[in-house]
Structure 1
């Protein structure tokens, strides 16, 4: 896997394949946790910038598609929770392998071709799954969907990483991603409310993927992209083993893997819990899932600002503690109104967890360890995205969907314990 540098900022999003501007780093103009880009006067071209944000929107649309699709796939194929949960390790396998090989794609194909390959991967997977082939074929195309997600997500950040004011641009990119994840449950709810088949959800996804390719063709026309990844000489000299087995790296990897697991578990199994576990109206509960992603999009801007102002450690501890209390309420309450409110607020509170964790890890680790350590954490996210939703589905099959808040409570408790173990960089 190629060496990876991340743009230094308080809220840089960790995603596979980010290649930072090494000239900035070596000249001292970027330090982890402190961005000096604001002083630059150069402005990025608007067309490619808007295109990259639409690419992020496409990634979010993909992420938000799981919740209402799970009950549809169960009904269409006549399968159990345990069986339908196989889509998660399949998707994550495609994402994990592709993320690890992203550097090789860029090296042999160039950044532009890699970007379009990811977009085509999305379109191919959505178009194939829409046909309603047998379930094993659907699972196989989930690998292709993960392949597209990994390449497209990396390409978004390759471009943003080099721009002036990258801190603010990454915050916008992250919020647009959340907006995309908000749109899909909303559209899916409207499709199912009009008694249309689940295939129309994938028709919507395919349409957005096609529009994304068209936007890329126009937005990146005559735009020069760096085809060769920049290498960090410091990263090449440092021991891979020393970086991977660093205490901060291992704790950070587990912490973020669990967070991604919680996010995807809420976004996928949450709808089934609301409708089957709490007997909520199917259409209204679809909007509640939309509210979860919407709360996360808003929280990434608002709580991200507070974390930047008051410190990552304290704010994230408060958010995790409040989330624990609310998930406990989700577990114990039978009032559907309270359950729905809690569901949305948890999305808002968990919004800054990812970026604050990365910011803190950057400050705790020596700079020469960042590339390998953050690459390890990126791979860990795909493991969390596969393992925890799959376990939730397996337990649901054995003990019922009422285990959903129990699993989420346990994950949050472990997260908070790890966060308390991680030292504060100010100490």
Structure 2
């Protein structure tokens, strides 16, 4: 029997699935289809998150804006993420996992539809509010669904590695379009096309019971589930960890190109590709280190990775050589890559089972708001003192992660 077959009847079941009438093979096939579509959704999210940093050198002259104004992209994105984080449980209670993901994917497409024709900067900026909400809803539900699948620690690793594939492709595609044409904004036409395909894929794989609550009394349970989730100490500790982690992850990729141009005096048309080197190390780390970390102990190994990541960041800061910077930032990405899926898995071990889905979704969405908050703060600081602040900011974020990681309880927290 396939690994997913055992969970096929309880992983995001709709009422129609619970009568046990469907053959196990069909149920397993349904889970596989949903795994594929949710993985595609997070890949599109990766294409969304990793492109802005590479496009900054083209956005500035195109719109005639400062680094501070560029950083407002991340602030608007953060507002969208935050709204999606708190709306997630209530939206899912009304339209189910599949409906929430389709809604999120559709809202994400609204953002791309506002971006691809290079509108006035105010309109372009507002588009990131929609992508923030859209990605937040999808990220929460993708993680919540994946945690219900057998061997979830491995599937979570795969899910977030696929996100990494999107982050590798984003700088490659965005930098190629921006460097070889005068229309950098066409990158968002590519993401719009993929976004529409994402809506179709999710609607098809979750078509059975689409826009229906996962359980009959979901609306009544939503309020109590949210209250139980936000009152759990371990959930907030993991939220803090994820908030800093995703902030470090996206800040590093988002401002890397500008750092290499401004501080290391690199050629924008060449150093833009180094962002893909960073995201490549990040993705490989999620794949290679997933089982190793699980077998040797998540708590111990994540602590070790943090120490090594700090060493890499110090070397990145002190070695004024673009090749050396490319190597150290790649290793940095490799080491921190597993933190997010490993952290979510550890959370399921220290909270009651009935909170798993709500807490995973809450942490995935609210914690990931760091992907917008810290790039904005970095940009705001860099606009005053320069992009050379990037390495110390990243080191501070890693140290902060270590504090939250040490605070994580080792037994179930009620």
Per the shorter chain, which TM-score range?
Answer: 0.7 to 0.9
1:91 aligns with 2:77: yes
Which deviations, in whole Å up to 9, do the C-alpha atoms of 1:221-276 show, x marking residues without a partner?
A: 864558213479999878937x6455433332222211111011012111101122
Of 42, 45, 49 in structure 2, the residue corresponding to residue 59 of structure 1 is: 45
Counterpart for residue 389 of structure 2: 403
Query: Which deviates the most, 383-392 or 158-167?
Result: 158-167
Distance 1:313 1:110, change over 3 A: closer
The 2-side partners of 1:292 and 1:183 are apart by 12
Match of 2:377 in 1: 391
Match of 2:214 in 1: 229
Q: What number of residue pairs does the alignment pair up?
A: 393
Call closer, same or farther: CA 1:207–1:357 in 2, change over 3 Å: same
- What CA distance in whole angstroms lies between the structure 2 residues aligned with 1:412 and 1:308? 21
The one of 241, 252, 258 equivalent to 1:266 is 252
TM-superposed CA distance for 1:44, in Å, is 2.3
Of 313-322 and 374-383, more deviation after overlay is shown by 374-383
- Between 396-405 and 225-234, report the one with greater CA deviation: 225-234
Correspondence for 2:282: 296
Cα pair 1:129 1:202 within 8 Å, conserved: yes
Aligned in 2, Cα 1:21/1:314: closer, same or farther, shift over 3 Å? farther
The equivalent of 2:165 in structure 1 is: 179
Number of the residue aligned with 1:12: none
- Match of 1:196, SS state, is coil
Higher helix share: 2
TM norm structure 2: 0.83
Q: 1:157 to 1:125 in 2, by over 3 A?
A: same
Could you tell me how far 1:108 is from its partner in structure 2? 4.0
Contact 2:95 2:213 in 1 (8 A): no
Equivalence map 1:3-402=2 (5 Å): 43-45=28-30, 46-157=32-143, 159-163=145-149, 165-216=151-202, 219-220=204-205, 223-225=208-210, 227-230=212-215, 240=227, 244=230, 246-367=232-353, 370=356, 374=360, 377-402=363-388
Residue 29 of structure 1: aligned partner:
none
Whether contact under 8 Å (1:118, 1:148) holds in the other structure is yes
Provide structure 1 residue ranges, at least 5 long, that are not aligned to the other structure: 1-17, 24-38
Measure, in 2, the Cα distance between the counterparts of 1:395 and 1:274: 17
Cα deviation digits, residues 18-41 of structure 1 (max 9, x gap)? 986799xxxxxxxxxxxxxxx999
- Aligned to 1:85, what secondary structure does the other structure show? helix
Q: 1:295 to 1:418 in 2, by over 3 A?
A: same
Shift of 1:64: 1.8
Q: TM-score, normalised by structure 1?
A: 0.81
> What is the Cα-based RMSD across aligned positions, in Å?
3.3
